[in-house]
Amino acid sequence: MPKRTDIKSILLIGSGPIVIGQACEFDYSGTQALKALKEEGYRVILVNSNPATIMTDPEFADRTYIEPITTDIVEKIIAKERPDVLLPTLGGQTALNLAIDLAERGILERYGVEMIGAKLESIKMAEDRDLFKEAMRKAGLDLPRSGYAHNMREAMKIQKRLNFPVIIRASRTLGGSGGNFAYGAEDFKAVVQHGLDISPVHEVLIEESVLGWKEFELEVMRDHKDNVVIICSIENFDPMGVHTGDSITVAPAQTLTDKEYQIMRDASLRVIREIGVDTGGSNIQFAVNPKNGRMVVIEMNPRVSRSSALASKATGFPIAKIAAKLAVGYTLDEIRNDITRETPACFEPTIDYVVVKVPRFTFEKFPQAEDLLTPQMKSVGEAMAIGRTFKESLQKAMRSLEINSFGFEPKLLVSPERREEALRVVGEKLRNPNSQRLWYLGDAFRLGMTIDVIHQLTSFDPWFLEKIREIVETESEIQTHRGRFGEIDASMLRSWKQMGFADARIAALTGAGETEIRSLRKQKGIEAVFNSVDTCGAEFAAFTPYLYSTYEGEDESNPTQRKKIMILGGGPNRIGQGIEFDYCCVHAAFALKEEGYETIMVNCNPETVSTDYDTSDKLYFEPLTMEEVMNIVDREKPDGVIVQFGGQTPLKLALPLERAGVPIIGTSPDSIDLAEDRERFAALLNRLGVKQPENGIARSYDEAFQIAGKLGYPVLVRPSYVLGGRAMQIVYDDDALKNYMTHAVAASPEHPVLIDKFLDDAIELDVDALSDGEDVVIGGIMEHIERAGVHSGDSACSLPPKSIHPDIQDEIRQQTIVLAKALNVRGLMNVQFAVQETNVFVLEVNPRASRTVPFVSKAIGVPLAKIAARIMVGRMFLSKKRCFRSTNFPASIRFLGRK
C-alpha cells in the first residue's frame, strides 16, 4: 500500500532541552523523520523548544515553533495549524508524554487530530507497569516472578516460589520508594516487616531479583501490514542493575545460541503485537539468567529511543526515517534500503563487525555525586566504535571517549608487597558498578585474578572477560619490547593493531613515542584500511560511503579526485559540549556541499545528525584521535580540515595536525592557541589596549595565595586549558582557596591554576562574530540573565542585550572587531565580556564555534556556521550590511542553557 493521501499535514513533537537520558539522539531521529516526511510532500509542523537542533532549522519543517513543549502551547499550535495527524514517537519520552496528555484531555479529538505511529492505548500499555505486565502475561511471556503480601505468612509463601535475592516494595508509599533487597531468610523478614509497616495499605510486592542477569535489547520495526523485522540485537556488557544508558553495550548479541536468540526474537514479535504499536520502531529489553537461560521481559519503549539511534548507526539501517515512512502508510517492502539500493528495507540487517558503545561520565565535575552506577542513568554522553572483532572495537571505543585513555591503562600502581591491598581495592571497585570499572578489570587481570573470581564479583559474562584477559595478556607481551621497540616485527605489530591497540598505547607500553610507533608501523607497511557499514555483511554492494577503520587486507574507501574538506566532529557529549557543536559541524557539511566540495565527516558519537550517513558525502565513524584522524587524512588527502566546529575535541588536535602537515583551514591553530594560552593572551590584550580582569597564574600552592592577596577576594579560580568551566569556582577567602587548592586541583608547572579578579555586580555578555580576514561582522550580543560568575552555559540569556547602553554595545562591537583582526580570525569567533558600570572587560576569546552559535543563528535568521564554513574555503563577505544588520533582531527569545 502506498502512502496515505487522506492526510496533508503532520505535527511532529521534538524532545525539548537536553537532559540526562535524552540527548541529541532525538535531533537525529527528528531530522531524519522531517526529511522523510517532506520528501513525501506532506506539510510538516514542528514543535521543539531547543533551538540548538538541526531539526529546528527553517528548511526542515514547513512551520517550526520554537516553543516550550507543554500541553497549553501545543494546543494553541494545533488550533492554529490544524494538522491532520500527530506523530509522537520520534521525540523521546517528552513527546510521548505530551501526546498522552493531549489525547487524554480530549484536545486531539476536539481538533480532529489522529495519532499515528502508536495509539494512546498502546503507549499507556507500554508505559504503565501493571498494564504492561498484564499484557505480557496475556502474550504468554515470562516476567520476573512476584506476588503481593499483606502479612508475614503470605510473604513467606511467596518467598518459597522465588529464589534470593528478592526486591520488596511497599505499596503506595509517598514518592514510591525504590524497594529493598533481601538476600536471605533473616533480612527478608526484617525488610518485609518494614515494608508492611510503612505501607499505608499494609501491602508489599515481593519480586524475584534479576540483578546480575544478562541484559539484552532488540530493536524491532513493524508496519501496518504486520510485517515485523528485528534491526539489531544489543547485549549489555554490564548486567542488570546498571541502566542501559550507563552500560557498555555491544551489537550484535554475543553470547546467545541461535535457539535462545530466536526465542527472544519471537518474544519481541509477540510484545510489539500485544502492545499494538501500529508502525515504527520499538525497543524491547530482556533479562537472561546466565545459569539456565531463563528469559524475562523487562520493558519496552513504544518509540524511537536512544538505543534506536545506536542500532541505526551500528547497522546502517535508518530506523527513524523508516519509522516516519511507515507512519504515513508505507509498508517495509515498499521502502528501498538506501545503502544497497537494490534490496528492500524489509529485511534484518546482518553485520560483519562488532559495535561497542561506552558511556561517558562526568563524576569528576561534581565531587558531591557518588561514582556509583544504578538503575538511574548518570552518563552524559557516549561514544561508539566499530571494529572487526570485539577486542578491536572495545579498545577503539575506549579511546573515543576522550578521557585520555588509549586502552587498559592501570588504575593502580602495584608493588609486590602491596598486592593484598591492591586486590582489596580492585575487588571493591569491581563489586560496585562505577564509571572506572572497565579499567579496573585490567588491573584485576594484572593482579592475577581469574575470570571466575571476576565473574563472581561483577556478573560480567566470561566471554567478555576472556577477551579483556587476552588484551591484558597481549599488553605484557608488548611490554617485553620495552626500550627495544625497533625489534618489533611486522606480523607481531599487525596482530596487535588487529586487536585494536592504539599506537599511543603500544608507545606507552614500549616506552616509545606515539610518532615513533606510527613510523615503525608505516615502515612495515601496516596501514589502516576502511570497511563499509553496509547492512548486509557484504552480500550486496554498498553505495553509501559509511566507513570504519580496521587492519585487514582490502580498503573500500575509494577516495575521489574531487576537492574535499574534512570536518572533525565533537566526539561524545559531555558537560560543556553537546549538540551545539554537532549543529555547527552539520552546517559546515551542508554549506560546503553547496559550495561543490566533497564533505568528509569524522565523528564517533552515535546520537548525532553528523553521523547520519547522508549528512555528508562520506562518513568515517572513528575515534577523534591523532592516529585515526591521520589514517583518514593519509587515505583521503583532503584539501582542508575544519577543527573549529567540533568543540574542544578536534581543537586539541589542531596543533599536532598542523605540525603533521595537515591543511587546517580557517583561523590558524596558532591563533587558537594564542587565545587559549593565558599568558600569550594577556600580552595580546595589553598590546591592543583591551581590558581584562586582573589575573594571575599560579603554578604552586603558595603562588595562589600571593596572587589572591594581590587581587583581593573574591577571585575566580580554575585550572588552565579546560572546557565547560570544569572545576571553576568563586572563592571568597583564604580558607576557601586553601580548600580548592588542596581538594579540587593540584597546581603544578604543567597544570597551572588561573586566578581572576571576580567582578562583583558585573553583567556578562557573549558575542558571536564572523570574520573573513578583512571584515568582521557581529552575529549577536547576548546578555546573561544570571550574574557574572554563573557559567555562561548555565545562564539564561537574552538577545539583544536589555540593560546595556548603546554606547557600551558599540564599545563591545569595536573590541570584538579589534580582537578578530588581531587573531586573524577566518570563520567564527566568540568573545565573553563583563561590563561593570561603564567598564568593559574581556573575559575570554574563543576563535571557534561556540555553544551559542545555533541560538544566535536562529534568533537573527542567519546561518552563522554555514557562512563561517564558506569563509574557511576562501569566500569573502559580499554584502554584509544586508545580511548582518545587528539591529534587525526579532523579539528576544529566552534560551536556557544546560549543565
Q: How far is the CB of 258 from another protein (least distance, A)?
A: 3
Burial class (CB in 10 A: 0-12, 13-18, 19+), 678: middle
In order of 317, 342, 601, the CA distances from 537 in angstroms are 13, 15, 23
Q: Tell me the CB-side half-sphere exposure of residue 110, using CA atoms within 13 A.
A: 10
The single residue among 14, 30, 252, 863 that binds another protein, judged by CB under 8 A, is 252
Q: Name which position in 261, 363, 701, 713 contacts another protein (CB under 8 A).
A: 261
Residue partners of 437: CB distance under 8 A and separation at least 6: 238, 373, 429, 430, 458
Whichever of 551 and 581 has its CB closer to another protein, that residue is 551
Q: Position of cell 503481593? A: 148
Question: In the set 270, 306, 357, 388, which binds another protein (CB under 8 A)?
Answer: 388
Going by the DSSP 8-state scheme, the letter that residue 19 receives in this structure is: B
Residue 898 dihedral angles phi and psi, to the nearest 5°: -140, 155
Q: Which three cell numbers stand for residue 704?
A: 595562589
| Position among 147, 290, 559, 773 found at the interface with another protein (CB under 8 A) | 290
Report if residue 473 touches another protein, rule: CB under 8 A.
Answer: no
Q: What are the distances in angstroms from CA 863 to CA 230, 306, 770, 855?
A: 39, 28, 11, 10
Distance CA 218, CA 260 (A): 13
d(CA 50, CA 45): 15
Cell numbers standing for residue 709: 592577596
Q: Does 348 bind another protein (CB under 8 A)?
A: yes
With beta carbons less than 8 A apart as the criterion, state whether 190 and 204 touch: no
Choose the binding region for another protein from 344-352, 410-418, 865-873, 874-882 (rule: CB under 8 A). Answer: 344-352
Q: Considering the complex, what minimum distance in angstroms separates the CB of residue 375 from another protein? A: 25
Q: By CB under 8 A, name the one of 255, 515, 836, 886 that touches another protein.
A: 255
- Judged by CB under 8 A, which stretch of 271-279, 349-357, 699-707, 764-772 contacts another protein? 349-357
Q: Which of 183, 366, 463, 732 binds another protein (CB under 8 A)?
A: 463
Non-local (6+) Cβ contacts of 766 within 8 A are 781, 782, 784, 792, 797, 830, 831, 832, 833, 850, 852
Q: State the number of CA atoms in the 13 A half-sphere of 674 facing the CB.
A: 15
The C-alpha atoms of residue 215 and residue 242 are separated, in whole angstroms, by: 10
* Minimum distance of another protein from residue 251's CB (angstroms): 10
CB closer to another protein out of 497 and 574 = 497
If binding is defined by CB under 8 A, does position 553 make contact with another protein? yes
Residue 344 binds another protein (CB under 8 A) = yes
Candidates 538, 683, 876, 896; binder of another protein (CB under 8 A) is: 538
Residue from 192, 332, 654, 856 that binds another protein (CB under 8 A)?
332
Q: What is the dihedral of CA 719, 722, 724, 727, to 10 degrees?
A: -20
Query: Minimal distance in Å, beta carbon 534 to another protein?
Result: 10
In whole angstroms, give the CA distance from residue 573 to residue 21. 12
Grid cell 576472556 is found at: 466
Give 421 or 487: the residue with its C-beta nearer to another protein.
487
Q: In this chain, which of 52, 242, 295, 860 binds another protein, going by CB under 8 A? A: 295
Q: Cβ closer to another protein: 73 or 492?
A: 492
Task: Identify the residue among 369, 541, 746, 896 touching another protein (CB under 8 A).
Answer: 541
Rg of the chain in Å (alpha carbons): 28
Q: Does 456 bind another protein (CB under 8 A)?
A: no
Interface with another protein (CB under 8 A), residue total 59
Residue 881 host element (H or E): helix 880-883
Number of H helices, E strands in the chain: 30, 31
Q: What cell does 875 get?
A: 569566500
Indicate the residue among 364 and 539 with the shorter CB distance to another protein.
Answer: 539
Region from 197-205, 343-351, 514-522, 726-734 binding another protein, contact rule CB under 8 A: 343-351
105 Cβ contact list (under 8 Å, min separation 6)? 71
- Does 75 interact with another protein (rule: CB under 8 A)? no
Q: Which amino acid is at 884?
A: F
In the bound state with another protein, the residue whose beta carbon lies nearer, of 226 and 679, is 226
Residue from 292, 368, 415, 561 touching another protein (CB under 8 A): that is 292
Question: According to CB under 8 A, which one of 237, 390, 485, 740 is a site residue for another protein?
Answer: 390
Rounded distance between C-alpha atoms, residue 899 and residue 756, angstroms? 22
CA distance 511 to 609: 39
Q: Of 27, 57, 402, 461, which one interacts with another protein (CB under 8 A)?
A: 461
Parallel, antiparallel or unpaired: strands 564-568 and 598-603: parallel
Please report whether residue 225 would count as binding another protein according to CB under 8 A: yes
Decide if residue 432 touches another protein (CB under 8 A). no
Per CB under 8 A, 157 contacts another protein: no
For another protein, the closer CB: 355 or 633: 355
- Please say which residue, 79 or 541, places its beta carbon nearer to another protein: 541
Q: In the range 824-863, which residues lie near another protein by CB under 8 A?
A: none
Contact between 257 and another protein (CB under 8 A)?
yes
With 0-12 / 13-18 / 19 or more C-beta atoms within 10 angstroms meaning exposed / middle / buried, residue 776 is buried
Does residue 254 interact with another protein by CB under 8 A?
Answer: yes
- Binding segment for another protein (CB under 8 A), chosen from 126-134, 167-175, 328-336, 655-663, is 328-336
Q: Quick check: 733 binds another protein (CB under 8 A)?
A: no
List interacting residues with another protein (CB under 8 A).
225-227, 229-230, 233, 252-263, 265-266, 290-295, 331-333, 342-344, 346-354, 388-390, 451, 461-463, 466, 531, 536-541, 552-554
